[in-house]
Structure 1
């Protein structure tokens, strides 16, 4: 909902999402609104809160996550605890941990070690066994200098951490922008994936407008047995009063 329905205020987007047929919602950050207010909208419309992000720090100042920044670890711990409180109130079982930008005073391997340590700390800061922390590779066109900018690296980190409470968030748009070869990388990663997001390249647009063949990719998800959520994190070209989700109709039950 940080991408769709931007022509209406944020709290009105819940009803727009429900009216469009969505059963769950995600967005970047909930922290500008009381958790009780968000929960009322979810309950009223029978929507599931699927995912949101830990606070990234000061977004307007250029922060894009705190987990891999050694000097910001006290803020990072506070962000995990804040997100855990919101997740508990909203019955949300997945939180995205943004790595942050590359710190050139450290080697990449040193900074990745800090990132892994921070992910391990998140488990102790938020002890609920039903809560999973996700990491997402993000391309450097959209977020220049982002540390976790490689899907092979993201998969390796998850495997090394070796816990079901840390998994991969696989955004097909980011994968195409970084690597291409989306279907092969998706097949390799799926055992470690707990959330998928979609948009088409190059403009992060509707799934039926651009380079990626989403009917093929959706069929692949079915063949591989993926049963999780698919988040529509794209910037729509179609007007919302002109059947903007017609691409979705073949896939709805």
Structure 2
């Protein structure tokens, strides 16, 4: 049986953030993921999780200054210390919330700097982040993101991410395979699942309808077929539902009912 985690940063926007955990549990989710928890005390989030019997399976490291448009620091020259400080902050939350995975955002590639230079810096920062995370038993996730939704993002394709994971050879560095981004950038999603899942390098999946990022039963990607392929491949990890409901979260959960 496939396992789905509600993303409480994108779903349940009808509720105040801390009330979204209860709403997700009421709808049958046993796990959640989120993007940036840092405006709230870890102890308060932990209480909400415990009260609802929920696991928090993924959170993002501090991405820099979101207010100025930063989308991560790992590829940015001169920001390595700040990047690793953000990972350390995320690990504090992961420890308090028993979260096994942290997504380390690559960042927007600065203009005028050769990609090879940024690639070397990115790998150094991922390596350093992974060593920090390993001490806490946490995995570092690398997520390719489509350049239409996030122009200039450094990491766009599945192969780019897998190349980094293979080059580093660290057991706690894995790919966060968001099928929404994969479909927009590359397509051929189920062939890529068949290629990459057996490698053991994929640590987390995410879904959303393409191209509008609403419920996964909308848009151009046939999720029932995708789910059947995941079943065939024996995928037993979490699948994060990182989408924005089109007309209220509960009104759009028909696709998930068989799994909750």
TM band (smaller chain): over 0.9
**Would the aligned equivalents of 1:173 and 1:198 in 2 still touch at CA under 8 Å?**
yes
TM-score normalized by the length of structure 1: 0.96
* 1:12-23 pair list within 5 angstroms: 12-23=19-30
Please report the RMSD computed on the Cα atoms of aligned residues, expressed in angstroms: 1.2
**Would the aligned equivalents of 1:129 and 1:165 in 2 still touch at CA under 8 Å?**
no
The Cα of 1:27 is off from its aligned counterpart by: 0.9
Paired residue total: 251
**Would the aligned equivalents of 2:95 and 2:136 in 1 still touch at CA under 8 Å?**
no
Q: Distance in 2 between matches of 1:198 and 1:51?
A: 14
Q: Distance in 2 between matches of 1:169 and 1:36?
A: 26
Residue of structure 1 aligned with 2:93, choices 70, 86, 93? 86
Residue of structure 2 aligned with 1:7, choices 3, 14, 17? 14
Q: Distance in 1 between matches of 2:220 and 2:211?
A: 7
Aligned to 1:247: 255
Aligned to 1:77: 84
* 1:207-246 pair list within 5 angstroms: 207-242=216-251, 244-246=252-254
The Cα of 1:104 is off from its aligned counterpart by: 2.1
Unmatched runs of 5 consecutive residues or more in structure 2: 1-7
Aligned to 1:55: 62
Residue of structure 2 aligned with 1:192, choices 186, 196, 201? 201
Of structures 1 and 2, the one scoring higher in RCO (CA 8 A, sep 6+) is 2
Q: Distance in 2 between matches of 1:103 and 1:42?
A: 38
Find the residue that maps to 2:50 and give its secondary structure. Answer: helix
**Would the aligned equivalents of 1:53 and 1:97 in 2 still touch at CA under 8 Å?**
yes
**Would the aligned equivalents of 2:64 and 2:70 in 1 still touch at CA under 8 Å?**
yes
Segment drifting more, 232-241 vs 180-189: 232-241
Unmatched runs of 5 consecutive residues or more in structure 1: none
Regions of 4+ moved over 4 Å:
none
Q: Distance in 1 between matches of 2:123 and 2:115?
A: 12
Aligned to 2:39: 32
**Would the aligned equivalents of 2:214 and 2:243 in 1 still touch at CA under 8 Å?**
yes
